[in-house]
Structure formats: structure tokens, C-alpha cells
């Protein structure tokens, strides 16, 4: 695992966008795994800038997002589908048909949605570069700490600390969806290259355990230590406990 510490959030976002742009230069038909949350927001803004400057094109790129809240309408401003359109897809030349999120409207369709998502990733040839954020409890995607982790895309009940952390995007904690569909740990670990982003002091504990601790289901990001090509890009505050 390669760890890169940069000064602040701005530098982190620029560097993250540069990694994505570099991968795109090498392969214009890149299969890109994407994350939501506050951390990658400026990376997306920077990628939009690079597109506007004609430095990159997303015309042949296919994307697969890590996760989506279960049963949330796509038009709901809290959905990750909405987030991706607002922060990225609507501002670049990506083909909407090439963008994927594990969205599911009805309980009856969960199984079908999850297995179809895995098949779509597989028929795209697998994920070339997966961008990850990091939960304060060490989750990646929505793979929450627990006695075991699931391998493939699945329905998950969110941990209390995740509901609390994500409640800042909602009017009240009661409005945060309690369930989500997420890529599994195997789906993530099969990506050819992984770029984990973490910024700010709140992430320092999870970063330290993920990088230096034992590999444990109690901290899903620790599994990245087993990946062949994972880069951890963090700012000085997130690196505070290293």
C-alpha cells in the first residue's frame, strides 16, 4: 500500500483528480469505480475543470458507484444518483447509459439488483480504478464493521455511527435511510487499482487503524493492506495519528 500525505483538502482533491486523469490518458475507455460523500466533491469539481479545459474526455468511460441508499427515489436530492449528476455526470461528456449505481426501488428487487450489478461490472471487464472514501468507523462503500463482511454487492443495514455521520445531509437523523445497497468487499478488492481518500481530523483514527492495524472485519478498510495496488491519499489532518 502506498501512502501519500498532502497538505490539505485542496491538494488532496487536485492530486486525486490527477490520478483519475492519468488513468484516463492511459485508457480512455476506463472502467471507473466512484464514491460519494463530502470527500470526493472537490475531486469531481476539478475533473469537471479538466474536462472544460479539454484535458480529459469521459466519452468512453463507464462508471460504477460503490453504493446507493435503498428504496430512495433517484430524484431525491439525498440520493447518490442525484449527487453524482449534480457534482459530476451533468457537467462532463459521459454517456448516461454508461453510468451505474446500485439503485433499487422495491424490496422485491434487491436480489436481482445486486446480482445484476455484479454481472454488469464483470461484463465491463472489471473495475480499473476504484475511488474510495472512508467512514469514521472504517467502512468502505457501506461495508460496515462487524463479525463478518460480505463479498458481493448486497443490502446492508447502516451502523448507528454512519446514520449519525450522514445525518448532516438530512434535516434530521430520522430522515437518514437505514439501509443501502453496496458493493461487497470482494467487489472492491477485485478492482485493479484502488485510490482511498481521507481528509480531516475526524478520519485520523480510522486511517491509523486501516494502515497500521491488524486486518480485521472490525475495520473494513484494513483489508486494503492486502490489495496489490492500493494508494491511500490523505491530508495532514487525516495523517495526524500515523
Residues 101-160 that bind ligand GLP (CB under 6 A): 133-135, 141-142
Segment interacting with ligand GLP (CB under 6 A) among 29-37, 84-92, 146-154, 214-222:
29-37
Q: Rule CB under 6 A: say whether 220 interacts with ligand GLP.
A: no
Which 3-state string (H, E, C) describes 172-226? CHHHCCCEEEECCHHHHHCCCEEEEEECCHHHHHHHHHHHHCCCECCEHHHHHHH
Q: Is 93 a catalytic residue?
A: no
**Window of 14-22, 35-43, 85-93, 118-126 that interacts with ligand GLP by CB under 6 A:** 35-43
* Shortest separation between residue 10's beta carbon and ligand GLP, angstroms: 15
Distance CA 159, CA 161 (A): 5
In DSSP notation, 39-104 reads: TTHHHHHHHHHHHHTTS---TT-EEEESEEETT--TTSTTSHHHHHHHHTGGGS---GGGEE----
Report whether 170 contacts 140 (CB < 8 A). Answer: no
Could you tell me the smallest distance in angstroms from the CB atom of residue 38 to ligand GLP? 4
Of 20, 23, 33, 37, which one interacts with ligand GLP (CB under 6 A)? 37
Task: Assess 35 for contact with ligand GLP (CB under 6 A).
Answer: yes
67 catalytic residue (yes or no): yes
Q: Phi first, then psi: what are they for 3, rounded to 5°?
A: -110, 130
| Interface characters, 72-101, with ligand GLP (x: CB under 6 A) | ------------------------------
Residue number, nearest CB to ligand GLP? 133
Planar angle of CA 189, 238, 242, nearest 5 degrees: 85
| Least distance to ligand GLP, CB of residue 228, Å | 21
**60 or 159: whose CB is closer to ligand GLP?**
159
Q: How far is the CB of 242 from ligand GLP (least distance, A)?
A: 18
How many residues touch ligand GLP under the rule CB under 6 A: the total is: 14
Q: Which of 174, 154, 175 is nearest to 76 (CA)?
A: 175
Cβ neighbour number for residue 26 with a 10 Å cutoff: 9
- C-alpha 221/C-alpha 64 separation (Å) is 19
Per CB under 6 A, residues contacting ligand GLP are 35-39, 66-67, 133-135, 141-142, 162, 166
Residues acting as catalytic residues: 67, 137, 139, 144
Amino acid at each position: 500500500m502506498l501512502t501519500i500525505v498532502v497538505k490539505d483538502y485542496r491538494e488532496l482533491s487536485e492530486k486525486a483528480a490527477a490520478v483519475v486523469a492519468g488513468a484516463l490518458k492511459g485508457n480512455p475507455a476506463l472502467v471507473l469505480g466512484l464514491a460519494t460523500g463530502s470527500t470526493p466533491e472537490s475531486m469531481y469539481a476539478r475533473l469537471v475543470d479538466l474536462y472544460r479545459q479539454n484535458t480529459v474526455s469521459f466519452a468512453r468511460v463507464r462508471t460504477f458507484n460503490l453504493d446507493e441508499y435503498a428504496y430512495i427515489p433517484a430524484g431525491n436530492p439525498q440520493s447518490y444518483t442525484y449527487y453524482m449528476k449534480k457534482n459530476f455526470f451533468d457537467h462532463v461528456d459521459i454517456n448516461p447509459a454508461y453510468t451505474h449505481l446500485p439503485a433499487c426501488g422495491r424490496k422485491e428487487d434487491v436480489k436481482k439488483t445486486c446480482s445484476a450489478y455484479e454481472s454488469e461490472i464483470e461484463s465491463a471487464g472489471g473495475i480499473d480504478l476504484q475511488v474510495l472514501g472512508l467512514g469514521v468507523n472504517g467502512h468502505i462503500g457501506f461495508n460496515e464493521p462487524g463479525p463478518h463482511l460480505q463479498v458481493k454487492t448486497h443490502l446492508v443495514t447502516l451502523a448507528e455511527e454512519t446514520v449519525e455521520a450522514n445525518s448532516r445531509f438530512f434535516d434530521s437523523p430520522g430522515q437518514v435511510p437505514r439501509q443501502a445497497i453496496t458493493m461487497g468487499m470482494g467487489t472492491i478488492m477485485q478492482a485493479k487499482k484502488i485510490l482511498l481518500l481521507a481528509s480531516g481530523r475526524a478520519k485520523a483514527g480510522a486511517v491509523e487503524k486501516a494502515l497500521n492495524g491488524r486486518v480485521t472485519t472490525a475495520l473494513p478498510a484494513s483489508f486494503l493492506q492486502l490489495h496489490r495496488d492500493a494508494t491511500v491519499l490523505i491530508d495532514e489532518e487525516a495523517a495526524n495519528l500515523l
